[in-house]
């Protein structure tokens, strides 16, 4: 019987969840036709929710957390996936309902994996991770709705976070004028180094606002939700599009229909978890083409997997800047 090490979340009836670094048997891995030796993972906002138990992200016990991993195929009976292939996994309920990436080994259905693009090392693929791949999905949503670089400024909320940092890097690289909204104004130089033309205080967007405001941006990437998203919509120019992917401020959307019915604004929802394979392949292909690796490296910190519990708490407190790669 083969074993490996993993972080394991357990929960006894009604009690609080416990997290331990423990030895797990291969026999405990869940159904899947590909087994991967995990080399890197990462910390996303959702990983923070799972690690701290502050939101019911985990729906199967015990659970190995970690919604992303990169690694090398150890065993496969999946057509088109061979031993030795470098692969990447994002979402699909991994770390929520299927044993996840904070482990030396993972087993998943091969259809969930994407080939690691040659442009990235496994560490860079995890520097991108779900947050960065979601940022790309948001850029694709703006493009799909006709918001190109000439349309006008694009607002990125949650700018110092993971989705925000990759979104700024991508958009500025594509020639968009980016306005970064942040609560960390001391990070203005960092945000400008990623390509933000302007930096604004998120306090301007955090409180209940008017149904319609001055037309300020042609589009937005919003990872914050709540009053922020309502105000972002109210400040979007005629015919603009807001790609909404997150809830860092809250899950509510306390706004009005005014931006939709008076300015033809589009609210484009973005989900990374269950995005179909062709969409993922397109996003990873575009990341390989459009993401400036020097900027990716500048927004990334590398830490050992052992630090995941403390990083999970920090990301929920808004203390993590950019992205964190975990080495397994
Ligand atoms: P991060 O924690 O890295 O970034 C979130 C940022 O939001 C923070 O850095 C902070 O930026 C800002 N923020 C935090 N709290 C508040 C608040 N109360 N009010 C306003 N702004 C706040 O998380 P990620 O980038 O990994 O994820 C961002 C969001 O996107 C999360 O809600 C996550 O769940 C969601 N998400 C959704 C996905 C999907 O498939 N739809 C996929 C990936 C992420 P600053 O300090 O600059 O203000």
| Report field, pTM of the whole predicted structure over 0.75 | yes
Work out how many domains the chain is built from and give that number.
Answer: 2
* SS3 label, residue 113: coil
Examine the domain organization and report whether 168 and 38 are in the same domain: no
Nearest-CA residue for ligand 1 atom 31 is 246
Domain membership of residue 314 (yes or no) is yes
Q: List C-alpha distances in Å: 122 to 125, 128, 324.
A: 5, 10, 13
Top mutation candidate among 46, 55, 161 for ligand 1, by most atoms within 8 Å of CB = 161
Examine the domain organization and report whether 261 and 147 are in the same domain: yes
Examine the domain organization and report whether 174 and 244 are in the same domain: yes
Side-by-side strand order, sheet with 196-201: 196-201, 178-182, 154-156, 217-222, 236-244, 266-269
Specify which residues 196 forms β-bridges with: 178
Pocket (CB within 6 angstroms of ligand 1): 44-46, 130-131, 134, 158-164, 182-184, 202, 206, 223-224, 228, 245-249, 270-273, 315, 318, 320
* Whole-number pLDDT of residue 14: 80
Strands (E), the chain: 3-11, 17-25, 34-42, 68-76, 86-90, 105-108, 114-115, 154-156, 178-182, 196-201, 217-222, 236-244, 266-269, 300-304, 323-327
CA dihedral (323, 295, 38, 134) positive or negative: positive
Examine the domain organization and report whether 148 and 245 are in the same domain: yes
Task: Provide the residue-wise pLDDT of the chain in tens; the chain has 328 residues.
Answer: 699 999 999 998 888 999 999 999 999 999 999 999 999 999 999 999 999 999 999 999 999 999 999 999 999 999 999 999 999 999 999 999 999 999 999 999 999 999 999 999 999 999 999 999 999 999 999 999 999 999 999 999 999 999 999 999 999 999 999 999 999 999 999 999 999 999 999 999 999 999 999 999 999 999 999 999 999 999 999 999 999 999 999 999 999 999 999 999 999 999 999 999 999 999 999 999 999 999 999 999 999 999 999 999 999 999 999 999 999 9
Q: List C-alpha distances in Å: 150 to 65, 155, 173, 175.
A: 42, 14, 13, 8
In CATH, what number is assigned to the domain containing residue 200?
3.40.50.720
In CATH, what number is assigned to the domain containing residue 30?
3.90.180.10
Q: For residue 296, report the distance from its CA to the centre of ligand 1, in Å.
A: 17
* Whole-number pLDDT of residue 1: 66
Residues 170/290, Cβ–Cβ less than 8 Å: yes
Q: Which domain holds residue 257?
A: 129-269
Domain membership of residue 186 (yes or no) is yes
Residues 127/171, Cβ–Cβ less than 8 Å: no
Examine the domain organization and report whether 56 and 177 are in the same domain: no
Domain membership of residue 276 (yes or no) is no
Q: For residue 225, report the distance from its CA to the centre of ligand 1, in Å.
A: 9
At 291, give phi and psi (nearest 5°): -90, 130
* Whole-number pLDDT of residue 281: 98
Q: For residue 250, report the distance from its CA to the centre of ligand 1, in Å.
A: 10
Examine the domain organization and report whether 199 and 97 are in the same domain: no
Top mutation candidate among 54, 194, 223, 226 for ligand 1, by most atoms within 8 Å of CB = 223
Examine the domain organization and report whether 182 and 247 are in the same domain: yes
Q: For residue 105, report the distance from its CA to the centre of ligand 1, in Å.
A: 28
Specify which residues 24 forms β-bridges with: 4
Write out the two tokens for 178.
């980016």
């Amino acid at each position: 019987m083969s074993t490996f090490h993993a972080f394991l979340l357990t929960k006894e009836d009604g009690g609080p969840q416990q997290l331990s670094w423990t030895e797990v048997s291969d026999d405990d891995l869940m159904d899947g036709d590909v087994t991967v030796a995990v080399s890197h993972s990462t910390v996303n906002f959702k990983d923070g929710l799972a690690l701290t138990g502050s939101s019911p992200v985990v729906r199967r016990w015990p659970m190995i957390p970690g919604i992303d991993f990169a690694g090398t195929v150890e065993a496969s009976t999946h057509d088109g996936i061979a031993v030795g292939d470098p692969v990447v996994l994002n979402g699909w309920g991994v770390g929520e309902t299927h044993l996840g990436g904070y482990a030396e080994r993972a087993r998943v259905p091969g259809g969930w994996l994407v080939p690691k693009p040659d442009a990235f090392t496994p560490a860079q693929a995890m520097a991108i991770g779900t947050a960065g791949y979601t940022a790309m999905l948001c850029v694709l949503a703006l493009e799909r709705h006709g918001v190109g670089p000439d349309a006008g400024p694009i607002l990125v909320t949650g700018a110092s976070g993971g989705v925000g940092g990759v979104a700024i890097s991508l958009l500025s690289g594509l020639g968009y004028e980016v306005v970064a909204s942040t609560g960390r104004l001391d990070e203005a130089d960092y945000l400008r180094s990623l390509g933000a033309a302007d930096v604004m205080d998120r306090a301007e967007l955090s409180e209940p606002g008017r149904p319609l405001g001055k037309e300020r941006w042609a589009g937005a990437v919003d990872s914050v939700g709540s009053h922020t998203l309502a105000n972002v919509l109210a400040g979007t120019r005629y015919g603009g599009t807001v790609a909404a992917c997150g809830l860092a401020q809250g899950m509510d959307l306390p706004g009005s229909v005014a931006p939709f019915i008076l300015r033809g604004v589009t609210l484009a929802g973005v989900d990374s978890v269950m995005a179909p394979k062709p969409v993922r392949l397109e996003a990873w292909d575009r990341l390989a083409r459009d993401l400036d690796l020097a900027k990716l490296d500048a927004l990334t910190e590398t830490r050992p997997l052992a630090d995941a519990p403390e990083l999970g708490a920090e990301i929920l407190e808004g203390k993590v800047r950019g992205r964190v790669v975990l080495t397994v």
